[in-house]
Amino acid sequence: MVPSFPGTNTPFLLMSETTIEKHTFQAEIQQLLDLVVHSLYTDKEIFLRELISNASDSMEKLRHVEATEKDIHEPTLPLEIHITTDAEAKTLTISDAGIGMTREELVKNLGTIAHSGTKAFLKNMKDSGSTPGNMIGQFGVGFYSAFMVADEVKVHTRSWRAEGEELVWISDGKTGYEIEESPGQSRGVKIVIHLKEELSEYTEETRLRHLIETYSNFVGFPIVLNGKRINEVEALWLKNKSEISEDEYKAFYQFTGKAFDAPAYRLHFSADAPIAINALVFAPAENPERMGFGKVDGGVSLYSKKVLIDANPKGLLPDWMRFMKGVVDSADLPLNISRETMQDSALVKKLGEVISKRVIKMLEKEAEADPAKYRGFYLKFDRFFKEGIATDYANRKSLAKLLRFESSLTDAGTLCGFTDYVSRAKDGQESIYYLVGGSREQVESSPYVEAFKARGLEVIYFTDAVDEYVVESLGEFDGKKLVSIRHGGVELEDHAPEGDALSEEKTTELCEFLKAELGDRVTAVASGKRLVESPVIALVPTDGMSPQMRQMMKAMDENFKDEIKVELEINPRHPLVKKLSEAKDANPDLAKLVALQLLDNALIAAGLLEDARDTVSRMNTLMEKAMG
| Model confidence pLDDT, tens digit, residues 483-539 | 999 887 787 876 666 678 889 899 999 999 999 999 988 989 988 777 888 899 888
What is the predicted pLDDT for the residue at 178? Answer: 93
Cβ neighbors of 130 (< 8 A, separation 6 or more) are 124
Instruction: Label residue 6 by pLDDT band (50, 70, 90).
Output: very low
What is the predicted pLDDT for the residue at 8? Answer: 46
Q: Is the predicted pLDDT of residue 329 greater than 90, yes or no? A: yes
What is the predicted pLDDT for the residue at 7? Answer: 41
What are the structural domains of the chain? 12-229 (3.30.565.10), 236-369 (3.30.230.80), 504-626 (1.20.120.790)
Strand order in the sheet with 476-477: 406-407, 459-462, 431-436, 480-484, 476-477
Q: Is the predicted pLDDT of residue 135 greater than 50, yes or no? A: no
Q: Would you call 178 exposed, middle or buried from its count of C-beta atoms within 10 A (0-12, 13-18, 19+)? A: middle
Mean pLDDT of 249-272: 93
| 223 or 174: which leads in pLDDT | 223
What is the predicted pLDDT for the residue at 126? Answer: 53
| 588 or 346: which leads in pLDDT | 588
Contact call for residues 171 and 153 (beta carbons, < 8 A) = yes
Instruction: Label residue 477 by pLDDT band (50, 70, 90).
Output: very high
| 557 or 252: which leads in pLDDT | 252
* Closest of 315, 302, 340 to residue 131, by C-alpha: 340
pLDDT, tens digit (0-9, with 9 covering 90-100), for 335-349: 554 444 555 567 888
Contact call for residues 402 and 364 (beta carbons, < 8 A) = yes
pLDDT, tens digit (0-9, with 9 covering 90-100), for 185-211: 999 999 999 999 999 999 999 999 999
What is the predicted pLDDT for the residue at 554? Answer: 64
What is the predicted pLDDT for the residue at 17? Answer: 52
Cβ neighbors of 55 (< 8 A, separation 6 or more) are 81, 94, 95, 96, 98, 189, 221
Instruction: Label residue 33 by pLDDT band (50, 70, 90).
Output: confident
Instruction: Label residue 454 by pLDDT band (50, 70, 90).
Output: confident
Q: Is the predicted pLDDT of residue 414 greater than 90, yes or no? A: yes
Contact call for residues 522 and 568 (beta carbons, < 8 A) = yes
Q: Is the predicted pLDDT of residue 46 greater than 70, yes or no? A: yes
